[in-house]
Amino acid sequence: MAPDSTPAQIEHSHITDEARSHIGRTGPVRRFQVTARDICRFAISIGDKNPLWRDEEYANQTSHRGVIAPPMFHCVIDLDEEDLDQLEESGLGKNMGLRMEVPVPGFPGAMATGRDIEFGEPIRAGDTISAQETLVDIYEKSGRRGPLVFVVSEKVYTNQRGEFVLKERRGLIRHQ
């Protein structure tokens, strides 16, 4: 979230009816099979040596009864795969999810806000995780350097038993 944003006195809205019609849209359900190797590699990439993420014997002695993935492991399955010729010069994919699909004319800039995550069942090797994104909100604020449009989506992850794994709410700030 932009530190310089304040509750706005919006004189005229930058949110078009077309943009507003995106609220409630859902993306496709994506599925991903989790391996112990993915979990181990993610733990290494964040520099986290907790044996709960990789030592089966250790993890079996805990109430988890086995290795689980670190909390932010869903980052591994968050981004869509795209072919090289589908990437922009910046390296960003052309298909960046529902938040980038909302038209905000005159607001070419985009930056991420933080994330708001609620955790359920942990992810384990062997799980098949399903994830689906919904566009949940669009609102505007005036920042120090001009108006800002916030596009918010929510992604829900479940496992192969239909159990709730996590819900993540993320905003994208569009700026001029």
Q: Using CA atoms, how far apart are residues 92 and 18, in angstroms rounded to an integer?
A: 25
75 contributes a contact to other proteins by CB under 8 A: yes
**Of 6 and 61, CB closest to other proteins:** 61
Residues 137 and 147: their CA atoms lie apart, in Å, by 17
H or E segment at 19?
helix 17-20
Q: Which is nearer to other proteins, 8 or 20 (CB)?
A: 8
Candidates 23, 36, 52, 100: give the one binding other proteins (CB under 8 A). 52
DSSP 8-state code for residue 20: H
Q: Which is nearer to other proteins, 33 or 50 (CB)?
A: 50
Q: Does 3 bind other proteins (CB under 8 A)?
A: yes
CB of 50 to other proteins, least distance (A): 6
Work out the end-to-end distance of the chain between its first and last CA atoms, rounded to an integer number of angstroms. 16
Here the tokens at position 126 are 């062997």
90 is a contact residue toward other proteins (CB under 8 A): yes
Is 45 a binding residue for other proteins by CB under 8 A? The answer is yes
